[in-house]
């Protein structure tokens, strides 16, 4: 099937899903298994793909110093764009003041009982006690750590390592081929996921009723994501990666629609890698930069966490000055790094931000009802941010010498 046709079918799948979910509401739940099938297939491939793509990507850089150079640039790039996203969120929330005048008693509902992971826990989660358990639980940070180590050491054992590298590259090619096959099912999978998400929320009218309860808050998050995704990242792409944002965005459409429908950067990773390589992003950059991005680079999540924390403060009438907002800036950035690339992970790590500035945890109850939708929007920006990062890092001198 021609690639363009597939992209068109995936987009049609999403639109038709929204239409059916809107009008048929909960009845669409009977199609949910088709969405689960698609999601399972992506999750099935993501663990081996991370391991082999990272090992192949790192080892094909050939020299551990090059790995270090690209690694640092990747981290600095990801950290900077996340910081820009948080600043956009903070500026908007200070201008739009979505929480002022919100009646806390009428909207506050249940709070998540989940205990948040602290910063020490995030650091600890890099090194797994048992790598197989980490694989079984699809925990990305330890997998990345182990693959970095393995790929890095592979470059230091000379000729002997070459054979193994070839095998890893071949397995990586096979996995990418399987991703191609999974994508043929994407139009149906995306249809079912979108129809089910809207259907479950009770259809179009119920959805609007939910969103409008915290309408200004949702507007602030969505405006921030739009500014970051449609202005900042395209400018970076244009000036630093010397690419046309429109063409690159179009090439990434499959990944973007998949991220919206799955609300998981990790599950979308196989598609993101496939799209980036097809668009001529350096293979090593795609293999190395994208798995790291899917795990630690969450511009959308960071922006949302900052806006949500400020919204909660405004609703409770708690004044947060400059210093507190700097704390929000730092903790939202960190919390987004710690958030896993799975649905609504940001909601949990947001407790780090709330605790850092002493905001009431139960404030989360106010934004719970719309989170499933905002999660999809921020995941899309997370994935777009990763893809732009891969294009920028692709131009590093280490990758082109």
Nearer to ligand ASP, 249 or 343 (CB): 343
Nearer to ligand ASP, 139 or 378 (CB): 378
State in angstroms the smallest separation of the CB of 386 from ligand ASP: 9
State in angstroms the smallest separation of the CB of 64 from ligand ASP: 30
Q: Does 108 bind ligand ASP (CB under 6 A)?
A: no
Q: Does 117 bind ligand ASP (CB under 6 A)?
A: no
Q: Does 343 bind ligand ASP (CB under 6 A)?
A: yes
Count of Cβ atoms closer than 10 Å to residue 174 Cβ:
11
Q: Residue 340 gets which letter from DSSP? A: -
State in angstroms the smallest separation of the CB of 49 from ligand ASP: 16
Nearer to ligand ASP, 320 or 345 (CB): 345
Per the CB < 8 A criterion, the answer to whether 356 and 327 are in contact is: yes
State in angstroms the smallest separation of the CB of 218 from ligand ASP: 15
State in angstroms the smallest separation of the CB of 150 from ligand ASP: 25
Query: What residue number has its CB nearest to ligand ASP?
Result: 346
Mutual orientation of helices 364-393 and 204-213 as an angle, nearest 10°? 100
Classify the phi-psi angles of 286: left when phi > 0, otherwise alpha if psi is within -120 to 50, otherwise beta. Answer: alpha
Q: Which stretch binds ligand ASP (CB under 6 A): 6-14, 86-94, 100-108, 378-386?
A: 378-386
Q: Which stretch binds ligand ASP (CB under 6 A): 45-53, 108-116, 176-184, 259-267?
A: 259-267
Q: Does 389 bind ligand ASP (CB under 6 A)?
A: no
Q: Where are the beta strands (DSSP E) in 181-291?
A: none
The phi, psi pair for 173, rounded to 5°, reads -65, -40
| Contact map string, positions 277 to 316, toward ligand ASP, x by CB under 6 A | ---------------------x--x---------------
Size of the site for ligand ASP (CB under 6 A): 16
Per the CB < 8 A criterion, the answer to whether 120 and 227 are in contact is: no
Q: Does 220 bind ligand ASP (CB under 6 A)?
A: no
**Which one among 211, 342, 354, 368 touches ligand ASP, defined by CB under 6 A?**
342
State in angstroms the smallest separation of the CB of 340 from ligand ASP: 7
Per the CB < 8 A criterion, the answer to whether 60 and 169 are in contact is: yes
Q: Which stretch binds ligand ASP (CB under 6 A): 26-34, 225-233, 354-362, 375-383?
A: 375-383
State in angstroms the smallest separation of the CB of 100 from ligand ASP: 25
State in angstroms the smallest separation of the CB of 349 from ligand ASP: 8
Classify the phi-psi angles of 340: left when phi > 0, otherwise alpha if psi is within -120 to 50, otherwise beta. Answer: beta
The CA distance from 345 to 178, in Å, is 27
Q: Does 345 bind ligand ASP (CB under 6 A)?
A: yes
Nearer to ligand ASP, 172 or 272 (CB): 272
Q: Does 141 bind ligand ASP (CB under 6 A)?
A: no
Q: Does 375 bind ligand ASP (CB under 6 A)?
A: yes
Per the CB < 8 A criterion, the answer to whether 270 and 53 are in contact is: no
Q: Does 379 bind ligand ASP (CB under 6 A)?
A: yes
Q: How far apart are the first and last CA of the chain?
A: 36
State in angstroms the smallest separation of the CB of 145 from ligand ASP: 19
Nearer to ligand ASP, 102 or 377 (CB): 377
The CA distance from 258 to 380, in Å, is 8
Q: Does 210 bind ligand ASP (CB under 6 A)?
A: no
Helix (H, G, I), strand (E, B) or coil at 343: coil
The CA distance from 288 to 125, in Å, is 20
State in angstroms the smallest separation of the CB of 299 from ligand ASP: 10
Which spans of this chain sit near ligand ASP (rule: CB under 6 A)?
A: 263-265, 298, 301, 339, 341-346, 375, 378-379, 382
């Amino acid at each position: 099937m021609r690639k363009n046709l597939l992209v068109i079918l995936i987009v049609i799948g999403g639109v038709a899903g929204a239409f059916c979910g809107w009008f048929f509401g909960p009845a669409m739940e009977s199609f949910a298994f088709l969405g689960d099938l698609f999601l399972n297939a992506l999750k099935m491939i993501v663990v081996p793909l991370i391991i082999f793509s990272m090992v192949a990507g790192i080892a094909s850089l050939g020299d551990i110093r090059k790995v270090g150079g690209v690694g640092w640039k990747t981290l600095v790039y990801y950290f900077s764009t996340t910081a820009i996203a948080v600043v956009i969120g903070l500026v908007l929330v200070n201008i739009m003041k979505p929480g002022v005048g919100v009646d806390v008693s009428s909207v506050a509902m249940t709070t998540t009982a989940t205990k948040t992971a602290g910063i020490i826990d995030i650091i600890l989660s890099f090194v797994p006690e048992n790598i197989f358990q980490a694989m079984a639980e699809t925990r990305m940070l330890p997998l990345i750590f182990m693959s970095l180590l393995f790929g890095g050491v592979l470059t230091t054992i000379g000729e002997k390592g070459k054979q193994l590298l070839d095998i890893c590259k071949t397995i990586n090619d096979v996995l990418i081929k399987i991703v191609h096959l999974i994508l043929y099912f994407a139009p149906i999978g995306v249809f079912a996921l979108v129809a089910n998400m809207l259907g479950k929320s009770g259809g179009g009218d119920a959805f609007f009723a939910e969103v409008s309860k915290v309408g200004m808050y949702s507007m602030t998050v969505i405006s921030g994501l739009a500014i970051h995704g449609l202005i900042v990242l395209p400018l970076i792409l244009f000036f630093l990666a010397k690419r046309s944002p429109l063409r690159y965005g179009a090439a990434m459409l499959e990944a973007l629609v998949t991220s919206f429908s799955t609300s998981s950067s990790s599950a979308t990773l196989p598609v993101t890698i496939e799209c980036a390589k097809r668009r001529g992003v350096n293979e090593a950059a795609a293999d190395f930069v994208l798995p790291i991005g899917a795990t630690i680079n969450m511009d959308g999540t960071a922006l949302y966490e900052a806006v949500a924390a400020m919204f909660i403060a405004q609703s409770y009438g708690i004044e947060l000055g400059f210093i507190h907002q700097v704390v929000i800036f730092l903790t939202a950035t960190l919390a987004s790094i710690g958030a896993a690339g799975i649905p609504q992970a940001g909601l949990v790590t947001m407790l780090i931000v709330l605790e850092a500035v002493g905001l009431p945890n139960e404030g989360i109850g106010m934004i719970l009802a719309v989170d499933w939708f905002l999660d999809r929007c921020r995941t899309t920006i997370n994935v777009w941010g990763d893809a732009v990062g891969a294009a920028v890092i692709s131009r590093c001198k280490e990758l082109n010498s």
